[in-house]
Chains A and B, each alone.
Chain A
Protein backbone atom coordinates (compact mmCIF):
# COMPACT_ATOMS: atom_id res chain seq x y z
CA UNK A 1 0.00 0.00 0.00
CA UNK A 2 2.86 2.37 0.90
CA UNK A 3 4.28 1.81 -2.59
CA UNK A 4 1.18 3.40 -4.07
CA UNK A 5 0.45 6.11 -1.51
CA UNK A 6 3.99 7.48 -1.39
CA UNK A 7 4.42 8.13 -5.14
CA UNK A 8 0.90 9.52 -5.22
CA UNK A 9 1.85 12.06 -2.57
CA UNK A 10 5.03 12.85 -4.49
CA UNK A 11 2.93 13.70 -7.54
CA UNK A 12 1.34 16.48 -5.50
CA UNK A 13 4.78 17.96 -4.93
CA UNK A 14 5.81 17.78 -8.58
CA UNK A 15 2.71 18.56 -10.65
CA UNK A 16 2.81 18.10 -14.41
CA UNK A 17 -0.03 18.30 -16.95
CA UNK A 18 -3.40 18.34 -15.24
CA UNK A 19 -4.96 15.42 -17.20
CA UNK A 20 -8.25 16.63 -15.92
CA UNK A 21 -10.00 16.06 -19.22
CA UNK A 22 -9.00 12.81 -20.79
CA UNK A 23 -10.03 11.72 -24.23
CA UNK A 24 -11.49 8.27 -24.83
CA UNK A 25 -10.38 6.67 -28.05
CA UNK A 26 -12.63 3.66 -28.27
CA UNK A 27 -15.14 4.89 -25.71
CA UNK A 28 -18.17 4.40 -27.98
CA UNK A 29 -17.28 0.84 -28.87
CA UNK A 30 -16.33 -0.06 -25.31
CA UNK A 31 -19.58 1.33 -23.98
CA UNK A 32 -21.57 -0.49 -26.66
CA UNK A 33 -19.77 -3.77 -26.04
CA UNK A 34 -20.20 -3.33 -22.27
CA UNK A 35 -23.90 -2.70 -22.80
CA UNK A 36 -24.08 -5.92 -24.86
CA UNK A 37 -22.49 -7.86 -21.99
CA UNK A 38 -24.84 -6.27 -19.43
CA UNK A 39 -27.84 -7.06 -21.65
CA UNK A 40 -26.56 -10.63 -22.01
CA UNK A 41 -26.06 -11.07 -18.25
CA UNK A 42 -29.49 -9.61 -17.46
CA UNK A 43 -31.23 -11.93 -19.95
CA UNK A 44 -29.35 -14.99 -18.68
CA UNK A 45 -30.32 -14.03 -15.10
CA UNK A 46 -33.93 -13.51 -16.23
CA UNK A 47 -34.03 -16.94 -17.92
CA UNK A 48 -32.41 -18.53 -14.86
CA UNK A 49 -34.99 -16.96 -12.50
CA UNK A 50 -37.81 -18.18 -14.71
CA UNK A 51 -36.36 -21.69 -14.70
CA UNK A 52 -35.67 -22.01 -10.96
CA UNK A 53 -38.97 -20.46 -9.95
CA UNK A 54 -40.71 -23.04 -12.14
CA UNK A 55 -42.66 -20.32 -13.92
CA UNK A 56 -41.75 -22.06 -17.16
CA UNK A 57 -44.46 -24.64 -16.54
CA UNK A 58 -46.81 -21.94 -17.83
CA UNK A 59 -46.92 -21.49 -21.60
CA UNK A 60 -46.61 -17.71 -21.46
CA UNK A 61 -43.49 -17.71 -19.29
CA UNK A 62 -42.03 -20.57 -21.34
CA UNK A 63 -42.15 -18.36 -24.44
CA UNK A 64 -40.53 -15.50 -22.53
CA UNK A 65 -37.87 -17.93 -21.31
CA UNK A 66 -37.09 -18.96 -24.92
CA UNK A 67 -37.07 -15.32 -25.95
CA UNK A 68 -34.61 -14.48 -23.17
CA UNK A 69 -32.27 -17.31 -24.25
CA UNK A 70 -32.40 -16.24 -27.90
CA UNK A 71 -31.75 -12.59 -27.05
CA UNK A 72 -28.81 -13.73 -24.87
CA UNK A 73 -27.41 -15.63 -27.84
CA UNK A 74 -28.01 -12.59 -30.04
CA UNK A 75 -26.00 -10.43 -27.63
CA UNK A 76 -23.14 -12.91 -27.75
CA UNK A 77 -23.44 -13.07 -31.54
CA UNK A 78 -23.43 -9.27 -31.87
CA UNK A 79 -20.58 -8.88 -29.36
CA UNK A 80 -18.36 -11.26 -31.38
CA UNK A 81 -19.57 -9.60 -34.60
CA UNK A 82 -18.32 -6.20 -33.41
CA UNK A 83 -14.95 -7.71 -32.48
CA UNK A 84 -14.61 -9.46 -35.84
CA UNK A 85 -15.58 -6.23 -37.66
CA UNK A 86 -12.62 -4.53 -35.98
CA UNK A 87 -10.20 -7.02 -37.47
CA UNK A 88 -11.65 -6.71 -40.96
CA UNK A 89 -9.09 -5.20 -43.42
CA UNK A 90 -9.87 -1.77 -44.87
CA UNK A 91 -10.16 -3.14 -48.40
CA UNK A 92 -12.38 -6.11 -47.53
CA UNK A 93 -15.51 -4.38 -48.86
CA UNK A 94 -15.45 -3.59 -52.53
CA UNK A 95 -18.09 -2.06 -54.78
CA UNK A 96 -17.79 -3.39 -58.29
CA UNK A 97 -18.39 -0.97 -61.12
CA UNK A 98 -22.07 -0.77 -62.04
CA UNK A 99 -23.23 -2.34 -58.76
CA UNK A 100 -24.90 -0.52 -55.88
CA UNK A 101 -24.49 -3.23 -53.29
CA UNK A 102 -20.89 -3.82 -52.19
CA UNK A 103 -19.27 -7.26 -51.97
CA UNK A 104 -17.00 -8.80 -49.38
CA UNK A 105 -13.55 -9.87 -50.45
CA UNK A 106 -13.27 -13.28 -48.75
CA UNK A 107 -9.68 -14.32 -48.08
CA UNK A 108 -9.78 -15.77 -44.55
CA UNK A 109 -12.11 -17.29 -41.96
CA UNK A 110 -12.46 -13.81 -40.40
CA UNK A 111 -14.20 -12.60 -43.55
CA UNK A 112 -16.50 -15.64 -43.54
CA UNK A 113 -17.26 -15.07 -39.86
CA UNK A 114 -18.00 -11.38 -40.50
CA UNK A 115 -20.35 -12.32 -43.35
CA UNK A 116 -22.48 -14.64 -41.24
CA UNK A 117 -22.27 -12.65 -37.99
CA UNK A 118 -23.66 -9.63 -39.84
CA UNK A 119 -26.98 -11.44 -40.22
CA UNK A 120 -27.78 -11.09 -36.50
CA UNK A 121 -31.48 -10.54 -37.23
CA UNK A 122 -31.70 -14.30 -37.72
CA UNK A 123 -31.58 -14.47 -33.89
CA UNK A 124 -33.15 -11.20 -32.78
CA UNK A 125 -36.33 -11.65 -34.84
CA UNK A 126 -37.11 -15.17 -33.47
CA UNK A 127 -36.40 -13.79 -29.97
CA UNK A 128 -39.01 -11.08 -30.46
CA UNK A 129 -41.43 -13.66 -31.90
CA UNK A 130 -41.05 -15.62 -28.63
CA UNK A 131 -41.65 -12.47 -26.57
CA UNK A 132 -44.72 -11.69 -28.64
CA UNK A 133 -46.12 -15.23 -28.24
CA UNK A 134 -45.51 -15.11 -24.48
CA UNK A 135 -47.26 -11.76 -24.13
CA UNK A 136 -50.12 -12.91 -26.33
CA UNK A 137 -50.62 -15.93 -24.06
CA UNK A 138 -50.50 -13.68 -20.99
CA UNK A 139 -52.96 -11.33 -22.61
CA UNK A 140 -55.28 -14.29 -23.18
CA UNK A 141 -55.07 -15.59 -19.61
CA UNK A 142 -54.87 -12.31 -17.68
CA UNK A 143 -58.27 -11.67 -16.05
CA UNK A 144 -60.57 -9.27 -17.87
CA UNK A 145 -61.30 -5.99 -16.19
CA UNK A 146 -64.96 -6.94 -15.56
CA UNK A 147 -63.91 -10.19 -13.91
CA UNK A 148 -61.40 -8.34 -11.72
CA UNK A 149 -64.00 -5.79 -10.69
CA UNK A 150 -66.48 -8.58 -9.96
CA UNK A 151 -63.88 -10.46 -7.91
CA UNK A 152 -63.00 -7.36 -5.88
CA UNK A 153 -66.69 -6.60 -5.30
CA UNK A 154 -67.21 -10.18 -4.14
CA UNK A 155 -64.19 -9.96 -1.77
CA UNK A 156 -65.46 -6.64 -0.41
CA UNK A 157 -68.93 -8.13 0.16
CA UNK A 158 -67.38 -11.03 2.02
CA UNK A 159 -65.36 -8.71 4.24
CA UNK A 160 -68.45 -6.56 4.93
CA UNK A 161 -70.44 -9.63 5.92
CA UNK A 162 -67.65 -10.69 8.24
CA UNK A 163 -67.60 -7.25 9.84
CA UNK A 164 -71.37 -7.42 10.40
Chain B
Protein backbone atom coordinates (compact mmCIF):
# COMPACT_ATOMS: atom_id res chain seq x y z
CA UNK B 1 0.00 0.00 0.00
CA UNK B 2 1.47 3.35 -0.95
CA UNK B 3 1.28 6.38 1.25
CA UNK B 4 -0.12 9.44 -0.48
CA UNK B 5 -1.16 12.94 0.51
CA UNK B 6 -4.08 13.12 -1.91
CA UNK B 7 -7.15 13.32 0.34
CA UNK B 8 -9.35 11.96 -2.41
CA UNK B 9 -7.18 8.93 -3.02
CA UNK B 10 -8.97 5.67 -2.39
CA UNK B 11 -6.45 4.50 0.19
CA UNK B 12 -4.07 6.35 2.50
CA UNK B 13 -1.97 5.22 5.44
CA UNK B 14 -2.28 6.50 8.95
CA UNK B 15 -0.75 5.54 12.27
CA UNK B 16 -3.93 3.65 13.09
CA UNK B 17 -4.01 1.64 9.87
CA UNK B 18 -5.13 2.14 6.31
CA UNK B 19 -7.73 4.82 5.59
CA UNK B 20 -10.16 4.14 2.76
CA UNK B 21 -12.29 6.81 1.16
CA UNK B 22 -15.64 5.49 0.10
CA UNK B 23 -18.67 7.67 -0.46
CA UNK B 24 -21.43 5.11 -0.95
CA UNK B 25 -22.10 2.35 -3.46
CA UNK B 26 -18.36 1.95 -4.06
CA UNK B 27 -17.49 -0.34 -1.17
CA UNK B 28 -16.56 -3.11 -3.58
CA UNK B 29 -13.58 -1.03 -4.72
CA UNK B 30 -11.89 -1.79 -1.40
CA UNK B 31 -9.55 -4.71 -1.49
CA UNK B 32 -11.09 -6.91 1.21
CA UNK B 33 -7.78 -8.64 1.85
CA UNK B 34 -6.30 -5.36 3.11
CA UNK B 35 -8.84 -5.14 5.92
CA UNK B 36 -8.01 -6.98 9.10
CA UNK B 37 -11.11 -8.37 10.74
CA UNK B 38 -14.49 -6.63 10.70
CA UNK B 39 -13.39 -3.71 12.84
CA UNK B 40 -13.91 -0.35 11.09
CA UNK B 41 -13.88 3.29 12.09
CA UNK B 42 -16.43 5.14 10.00
CA UNK B 43 -16.86 8.84 9.64
CA UNK B 44 -20.47 9.86 9.09
CA UNK B 45 -21.23 13.44 8.23
CA UNK B 46 -20.93 16.35 8.77
CA UNK B 47 -22.82 16.54 5.47
CA UNK B 48 -25.21 13.64 5.68
CA UNK B 49 -28.98 13.59 5.19
CA UNK B 50 -29.61 11.49 8.31
CA UNK B 51 -27.52 13.26 10.93
CA UNK B 52 -30.04 16.00 11.64
CA UNK B 53 -27.88 18.83 10.36
CA UNK B 54 -24.12 19.29 10.21
CA UNK B 55 -23.37 16.73 12.88
CA UNK B 56 -20.33 14.53 12.42
CA UNK B 57 -20.33 11.06 13.90
CA UNK B 58 -17.23 8.96 14.33
CA UNK B 59 -18.39 5.38 14.64
CA UNK B 60 -16.26 2.40 15.47
CA UNK B 61 -18.16 -0.57 14.13
CA UNK B 62 -17.73 -4.28 14.28
CA UNK B 63 -19.83 -5.64 11.46
CA UNK B 64 -23.10 -3.74 11.91
CA UNK B 65 -22.67 -3.32 15.65
CA UNK B 66 -21.55 0.06 16.95
CA UNK B 67 -18.74 -0.33 19.48
CA UNK B 68 -17.91 3.32 19.99
CA UNK B 69 -19.79 6.43 18.92
CA UNK B 70 -18.54 9.97 19.20
CA UNK B 71 -20.12 13.17 18.02
CA UNK B 72 -18.10 15.96 16.46
CA UNK B 73 -19.73 19.37 16.58
CA UNK B 74 -18.77 22.94 15.83
CA UNK B 75 -19.44 23.08 12.10
CA UNK B 76 -22.11 25.74 12.58
CA UNK B 77 -20.27 27.84 15.14
CA UNK B 78 -20.89 31.50 14.35
CA UNK B 79 -19.74 33.20 17.54
CA UNK B 80 -23.21 34.43 18.50
CA UNK B 81 -22.25 34.86 22.16
CA UNK B 82 -19.20 36.92 21.25
CA UNK B 83 -21.14 39.02 18.77
CA UNK B 84 -23.70 39.88 21.41
CA UNK B 85 -20.95 41.56 23.46
CA UNK B 86 -20.69 44.27 20.80
CA UNK B 87 -24.38 45.06 20.37
CA UNK B 88 -26.92 46.72 22.64
CA UNK B 89 -29.07 44.72 25.02
CA UNK B 90 -32.04 44.95 22.68
CA UNK B 91 -30.03 43.97 19.62
CA UNK B 92 -28.87 40.86 21.47
CA UNK B 93 -32.27 39.31 20.81
CA UNK B 94 -31.60 39.48 17.08
CA UNK B 95 -28.51 37.33 17.54
CA UNK B 96 -29.72 34.72 19.97
CA UNK B 97 -32.93 34.05 18.07
CA UNK B 98 -30.76 32.50 15.36
CA UNK B 99 -29.22 29.83 17.60
CA UNK B 100 -31.84 27.11 17.78
CA UNK B 101 -33.66 28.20 14.65
CA UNK B 102 -36.40 25.61 15.05
CA UNK B 103 -37.38 27.07 18.44
CA UNK B 104 -36.35 30.73 18.14
CA UNK B 105 -38.78 32.02 20.76
CA UNK B 106 -37.22 29.89 23.48
CA UNK B 107 -33.82 31.45 22.79
CA UNK B 108 -35.29 34.92 22.97
CA UNK B 109 -37.28 34.05 26.07
CA UNK B 110 -34.25 32.80 28.04
CA UNK B 111 -32.18 35.84 27.13
CA UNK B 112 -34.94 38.36 27.77
CA UNK B 113 -35.82 36.74 31.07
CA UNK B 114 -32.20 37.05 32.22
CA UNK B 115 -31.98 40.68 31.11
CA UNK B 116 -35.27 41.53 32.81
CA UNK B 117 -33.96 39.87 35.96
CA UNK B 118 -30.91 42.12 35.83
CA UNK B 119 -33.06 45.17 35.19
CA UNK B 120 -35.53 44.16 37.89
CA UNK B 121 -38.53 44.72 35.65
CA UNK B 122 -41.51 42.65 34.62
CA UNK B 123 -43.23 42.80 31.27
CA UNK B 124 -46.91 43.88 31.16
CA UNK B 125 -49.48 41.14 31.42
CA UNK B 126 -50.45 41.21 27.78
CA UNK B 127 -46.83 40.86 26.70
CA UNK B 128 -46.50 37.84 28.98
CA UNK B 129 -49.59 36.23 27.47
CA UNK B 130 -48.25 36.87 23.96
CA UNK B 131 -44.92 35.34 24.94
CA UNK B 132 -46.61 32.24 26.30
CA UNK B 133 -48.75 31.99 23.18
CA UNK B 134 -45.73 32.18 20.90
CA UNK B 135 -43.65 29.80 23.02
CA UNK B 136 -46.38 27.18 22.94
CA UNK B 137 -47.08 27.56 19.23
CA UNK B 138 -43.35 27.21 18.79
CA UNK B 139 -43.34 24.03 20.85
CA UNK B 140 -45.89 22.53 18.48
CA UNK B 141 -43.99 23.59 15.37
CA UNK B 142 -40.70 22.35 16.83
CA UNK B 143 -42.14 18.97 17.80
CA UNK B 144 -43.65 18.70 14.33
CA UNK B 145 -40.18 19.16 12.86
CA UNK B 146 -38.82 16.58 15.29
CA UNK B 147 -41.42 14.04 14.16
CA UNK B 148 -41.03 15.01 10.51
CA UNK B 149 -37.25 14.76 10.30
CA UNK B 150 -37.17 11.73 12.58
CA UNK B 151 -39.70 10.03 10.32
CA UNK B 152 -37.84 11.01 7.19
CA UNK B 153 -34.60 9.56 8.50
CA UNK B 154 -36.16 6.12 8.90
CA UNK B 155 -38.00 6.31 5.59
CA UNK B 156 -41.43 7.39 6.84
CA UNK B 157 -41.74 10.14 4.25
CA UNK B 158 -45.46 10.73 4.76
CA UNK B 159 -44.75 11.77 8.33
CA UNK B 160 -42.24 14.22 6.95
CA UNK B 161 -44.58 15.81 4.41
CA UNK B 162 -47.41 16.02 6.96
CA UNK B 163 -45.12 17.46 9.62
CA UNK B 164 -43.78 20.24 7.43
CA UNK B 165 -47.27 20.93 6.05
CA UNK B 166 -48.65 21.56 9.53
CA UNK B 167 -45.59 23.43 10.72
CA UNK B 168 -46.18 25.83 7.87
CA UNK B 169 -49.56 26.72 9.38
CA UNK B 170 -47.83 27.78 12.57
CA UNK B 171 -45.13 29.66 10.70
CA UNK B 172 -47.94 31.57 8.98
CA UNK B 173 -49.18 32.58 12.42
CA UNK B 174 -45.66 33.68 13.39
CA UNK B 175 -45.44 35.71 10.22
CA UNK B 176 -48.74 37.37 10.97
CA UNK B 177 -47.84 38.22 14.58
CA UNK B 178 -44.11 39.00 14.33
CA UNK B 179 -43.61 39.70 10.64
CA UNK B 180 -41.19 36.81 10.13
CA UNK B 181 -41.40 33.04 9.84
CA UNK B 182 -38.11 32.55 11.69
CA UNK B 183 -35.48 34.73 13.43
CA UNK B 184 -38.20 36.93 14.87
CA UNK B 185 -36.37 39.03 17.49
CA UNK B 186 -39.88 39.67 18.76
CA UNK B 187 -39.56 39.14 22.52
CA UNK B 188 -37.63 42.18 23.72
CA UNK B 189 -36.44 43.26 27.15
CA UNK B 190 -39.52 44.91 28.63
CA UNK B 191 -42.20 43.25 26.52
CA UNK B 192 -42.71 42.29 22.91
CA UNK B 193 -42.04 44.25 19.74
CA UNK B 194 -45.60 44.63 18.47
CA UNK B 195 -49.17 44.32 19.58
CA UNK B 196 -51.41 41.65 18.08
CA UNK B 197 -52.32 42.54 14.50
CA UNK B 198 -55.92 43.16 13.45
CA UNK B 199 -57.70 39.90 12.77
CA UNK B 200 -55.00 38.00 14.66
CA UNK B 201 -57.33 36.38 17.16
CA UNK B 202 -59.58 35.04 14.39
CA UNK B 203 -56.65 33.60 12.47
CA UNK B 204 -55.35 31.96 15.66
CA UNK B 205 -58.70 30.33 16.35
CA UNK B 206 -59.13 29.00 12.82
CA UNK B 207 -55.58 27.63 12.67
CA UNK B 208 -55.95 25.90 16.03
CA UNK B 209 -59.19 24.33 14.75
CA UNK B 210 -57.35 23.02 11.70
CA UNK B 211 -54.40 21.76 13.77
CA UNK B 212 -56.74 19.86 16.07
CA UNK B 213 -58.16 18.13 13.03
CA UNK B 214 -54.74 17.23 11.66
CA UNK B 215 -52.76 16.26 14.76
CA UNK B 216 -54.55 12.90 15.16
CA UNK B 217 -53.11 11.90 11.77
CA UNK B 218 -49.68 11.39 13.30
CA UNK B 219 -51.02 9.08 15.94
CA UNK B 220 -52.97 7.17 13.29
CA UNK B 221 -49.91 6.88 11.06
CA UNK B 222 -47.37 5.92 13.68
CA UNK B 223 -48.60 4.84 17.10
CA UNK B 224 -49.57 1.31 16.18
CA UNK B 225 -47.61 1.03 12.96
CA UNK B 226 -45.57 -2.19 13.35
CA UNK B 227 -42.68 -0.97 11.18
CA UNK B 228 -42.50 2.39 12.95
CA UNK B 229 -42.69 0.74 16.36
CA UNK B 230 -40.15 -1.86 15.33
CA UNK B 231 -37.64 0.81 14.41
CA UNK B 232 -38.18 2.94 17.53
CA UNK B 233 -39.03 0.65 20.43
CA UNK B 234 -36.11 -0.18 22.69
CA UNK B 235 -33.74 2.00 20.65
CA UNK B 236 -31.67 4.72 22.31
CA UNK B 237 -32.52 3.58 25.82
CA UNK B 238 -31.46 5.99 28.56
CA UNK B 239 -32.92 5.86 32.05
CA UNK B 240 -33.48 8.61 34.61
CA UNK B 241 -30.11 8.42 36.34
CA UNK B 242 -28.37 8.48 32.97
CA UNK B 243 -30.38 11.55 31.97
CA UNK B 244 -29.53 13.44 35.15
CA UNK B 245 -25.85 12.54 35.02
CA UNK B 246 -25.52 13.60 31.40
CA UNK B 247 -27.75 16.64 31.87
CA UNK B 248 -30.52 15.58 29.48
CA UNK B 249 -33.80 17.42 29.87
CA UNK B 250 -37.04 17.89 27.97
CA UNK B 251 -38.97 15.05 26.34
CA UNK B 252 -36.01 12.68 26.86
CA UNK B 253 -36.19 13.18 30.62
CA UNK B 254 -39.98 13.04 30.72
CA UNK B 255 -39.97 9.78 28.75
CA UNK B 256 -38.27 8.20 31.78
CA UNK B 257 -41.37 8.94 33.85
CA UNK B 258 -40.02 11.98 35.69
CA UNK B 259 -42.38 14.96 35.38
CA UNK B 260 -39.66 17.61 35.34
CA UNK B 261 -40.97 20.58 33.41
CA UNK B 262 -39.85 24.11 34.25
CA UNK B 263 -43.27 25.45 33.23
CA UNK B 264 -44.72 23.64 36.24
CA UNK B 265 -41.73 23.44 38.61
CA UNK B 266 -40.41 26.96 38.24
CA UNK B 267 -43.24 28.78 36.47
CA UNK B 268 -42.62 32.04 34.66
CA UNK B 269 -44.80 34.55 32.82
CA UNK B 270 -48.00 33.20 34.31
CA UNK B 271 -47.62 29.53 33.32
CA UNK B 272 -49.03 28.59 36.71
CA UNK B 273 -52.38 30.14 35.68
CA UNK B 274 -52.84 27.94 32.60
CA UNK B 275 -54.51 24.59 32.71
CA UNK B 276 -52.27 21.93 31.20
CA UNK B 277 -50.62 18.65 32.14
CA UNK B 278 -47.02 17.53 32.00
CA UNK B 279 -46.74 14.51 29.73
CA UNK B 280 -44.64 11.63 30.99
CA UNK B 281 -44.13 8.09 29.84
CA UNK B 282 -42.34 5.09 31.29
CA UNK B 283 -40.56 4.15 28.10
CA UNK B 284 -37.11 5.72 28.08
CA UNK B 285 -36.47 4.95 24.41
CA UNK B 286 -37.01 6.58 21.03
CA UNK B 287 -40.63 5.46 20.91
CA UNK B 288 -41.40 6.89 24.35
CA UNK B 289 -39.88 10.23 23.34
CA UNK B 290 -41.91 10.23 20.16
CA UNK B 291 -45.11 9.68 22.14
CA UNK B 292 -44.17 12.35 24.69
CA UNK B 293 -43.71 14.88 21.89
CA UNK B 294 -46.97 13.83 20.28
CA UNK B 295 -48.92 14.30 23.51
CA UNK B 296 -47.11 17.51 24.44
CA UNK B 297 -48.41 19.12 21.28
CA UNK B 298 -51.95 18.63 22.57
CA UNK B 299 -51.07 20.21 25.89
CA UNK B 300 -49.50 23.15 24.07
CA UNK B 301 -52.63 23.54 21.97
CA UNK B 302 -54.59 23.73 25.22
CA UNK B 303 -52.37 26.57 26.42
CA UNK B 304 -52.60 28.32 23.04
CA UNK B 305 -56.40 28.25 23.22
CA UNK B 306 -56.41 29.72 26.74
CA UNK B 307 -53.91 32.40 25.76
CA UNK B 308 -55.95 33.28 22.69
CA UNK B 309 -59.05 33.84 24.80
CA UNK B 310 -57.09 35.99 27.24
CA UNK B 311 -55.70 38.08 24.41
CA UNK B 312 -59.18 38.54 22.98
CA UNK B 313 -60.16 40.22 26.25
CA UNK B 314 -57.04 42.39 26.42
CA UNK B 315 -57.39 44.57 23.39
CA UNK B 316 -55.60 47.89 23.69
CA UNK B 317 -53.48 46.93 26.68
CA UNK B 318 -49.76 47.75 26.56
CA UNK B 319 -47.26 45.15 25.36
CA UNK B 320 -44.16 47.04 26.52
CA UNK B 321 -43.18 48.44 29.91
CA UNK B 322 -44.17 52.05 30.49
CA UNK B 323 -40.60 53.07 31.40
CA UNK B 324 -39.51 55.16 28.43
CA UNK B 325 -35.88 54.60 29.37
CA UNK B 326 -36.22 50.94 28.40
CA UNK B 327 -39.17 50.67 26.03
CA UNK B 328 -38.51 50.87 22.33
CA UNK B 329 -39.72 54.36 21.39
CA UNK B 330 -42.01 53.56 18.51
CA UNK B 331 -44.40 51.07 17.01
CA UNK B 332 -44.24 49.83 13.47
CA UNK B 333 -47.15 50.47 11.20
CA UNK B 334 -47.94 50.00 7.55
CA UNK B 335 -48.38 53.23 5.63
CA UNK B 336 -49.05 53.98 1.98
CA UNK B 337 -45.31 53.82 1.31
CA UNK B 338 -44.66 50.58 3.15
CA UNK B 339 -43.77 49.54 6.68
CA UNK B 340 -42.16 52.00 9.04
CA UNK B 341 -42.51 53.90 12.29
CA UNK B 342 -46.05 55.00 12.96
CA UNK B 343 -47.05 58.35 11.49
CA UNK B 344 -47.96 59.83 14.90
CA UNK B 345 -44.52 58.99 16.28
CA UNK B 346 -42.74 60.55 13.30
CA UNK B 347 -44.91 63.64 13.63
CA UNK B 348 -44.07 63.86 17.32
CA UNK B 349 -40.30 63.54 17.03
CA UNK B 350 -39.87 65.47 13.79
CA UNK B 351 -42.38 68.24 14.32
CA UNK B 352 -43.24 68.65 17.97
CA UNK B 353 -40.52 67.78 20.43
CA UNK B 354 -36.75 68.10 20.12
CA UNK B 355 -36.36 66.14 23.36
CA UNK B 356 -38.41 63.28 21.95
CA UNK B 357 -36.13 63.18 18.93
CA UNK B 358 -33.02 63.12 21.12
CA UNK B 359 -34.54 60.40 23.23
CA UNK B 360 -35.44 58.34 20.18
CA UNK B 361 -31.93 58.71 18.82
CA UNK B 362 -30.27 57.89 22.12
CA UNK B 363 -32.31 54.82 22.94
CA UNK B 364 -32.02 53.37 19.45
CA UNK B 365 -28.28 53.93 19.02
CA UNK B 366 -26.94 53.85 22.58
CA UNK B 367 -29.61 51.67 24.15
CA UNK B 368 -30.18 51.45 27.86
CA UNK B 369 -27.82 50.62 30.67
CA UNK B 370 -28.28 47.50 32.73
CA UNK B 371 -27.11 47.56 36.37
CA UNK B 372 -23.96 45.50 36.93
CA UNK B 373 -24.26 41.93 38.09
CA UNK B 374 -25.11 38.55 36.70
CA UNK B 375 -28.23 36.47 36.29
CA UNK B 376 -29.21 33.03 35.09
CA UNK B 377 -32.64 32.43 33.65
CA UNK B 378 -34.03 29.24 32.20
CA UNK B 379 -37.15 28.31 30.29
CA UNK B 380 -38.56 25.01 29.13
CA UNK B 381 -37.70 24.90 25.44
CA UNK B 382 -39.12 22.13 23.22
CA UNK B 383 -35.80 20.29 23.61
CA UNK B 384 -35.34 20.87 27.33
CA UNK B 385 -33.93 23.53 29.60
CA UNK B 386 -32.46 26.47 27.76
CA UNK B 387 -30.56 28.66 30.16
CA UNK B 388 -29.01 32.05 29.71
CA UNK B 389 -26.23 33.39 31.91
CA UNK B 390 -25.72 37.09 31.33
CA UNK B 391 -23.16 39.32 32.98
CA UNK B 392 -23.49 43.07 32.91
CA UNK B 393 -20.79 45.59 33.78
CA UNK B 394 -23.34 48.37 33.98
CA UNK B 395 -22.91 49.28 30.34
CA UNK B 396 -25.10 49.41 27.30
CA UNK B 397 -23.99 46.01 26.04
CA UNK B 398 -23.84 42.55 27.59
CA UNK B 399 -20.41 41.93 29.13
CA UNK B 400 -20.96 38.24 28.56
CA UNK B 401 -23.90 36.13 27.47
CA UNK B 402 -23.74 32.37 27.63
CA UNK B 403 -26.42 29.98 26.55
CA UNK B 404 -26.93 26.54 27.98
CA UNK B 405 -28.52 25.11 24.89
CA UNK B 406 -30.47 21.89 25.42
CA UNK B 407 -29.36 20.46 22.06
CA UNK B 408 -25.70 20.89 23.01
CA UNK B 409 -26.07 19.17 26.35
CA UNK B 410 -28.49 16.48 25.16
CA UNK B 411 -26.23 15.49 22.31
CA UNK B 412 -23.81 14.12 24.91
CA UNK B 413 -26.23 11.22 25.17
CA UNK B 414 -25.29 10.05 21.66
CA UNK B 415 -22.58 7.64 22.79
CA UNK B 416 -24.50 5.97 25.56
CA UNK B 417 -27.64 5.69 23.44
CA UNK B 418 -26.00 4.14 20.39
CA UNK B 419 -23.07 2.05 21.61
CA UNK B 420 -23.79 -1.66 21.49
CA UNK B 421 -26.68 -1.17 19.09
CA UNK B 422 -26.95 -1.50 15.36
CA UNK B 423 -25.60 1.08 12.94
CA UNK B 424 -29.09 1.84 11.65
CA UNK B 425 -30.29 2.54 15.20
CA UNK B 426 -27.77 5.37 15.62
CA UNK B 427 -29.94 7.43 13.31
CA UNK B 428 -33.07 6.69 15.33
CA UNK B 429 -31.31 7.47 18.62
CA UNK B 430 -30.07 10.83 17.38
CA UNK B 431 -33.45 11.69 15.88
CA UNK B 432 -34.99 10.99 19.30
CA UNK B 433 -32.57 13.49 20.90
CA UNK B 434 -33.71 15.96 18.22
CA UNK B 435 -30.64 18.22 18.26
CA UNK B 436 -30.66 21.45 16.27
CA UNK B 437 -27.11 22.14 15.25
CA UNK B 438 -27.57 25.89 15.21
CA UNK B 439 -28.21 25.64 18.93
CA UNK B 440 -25.43 23.14 19.55
CA UNK B 441 -22.75 25.24 17.88
CA UNK B 442 -24.12 28.75 18.44
Binding between chains A and B: no
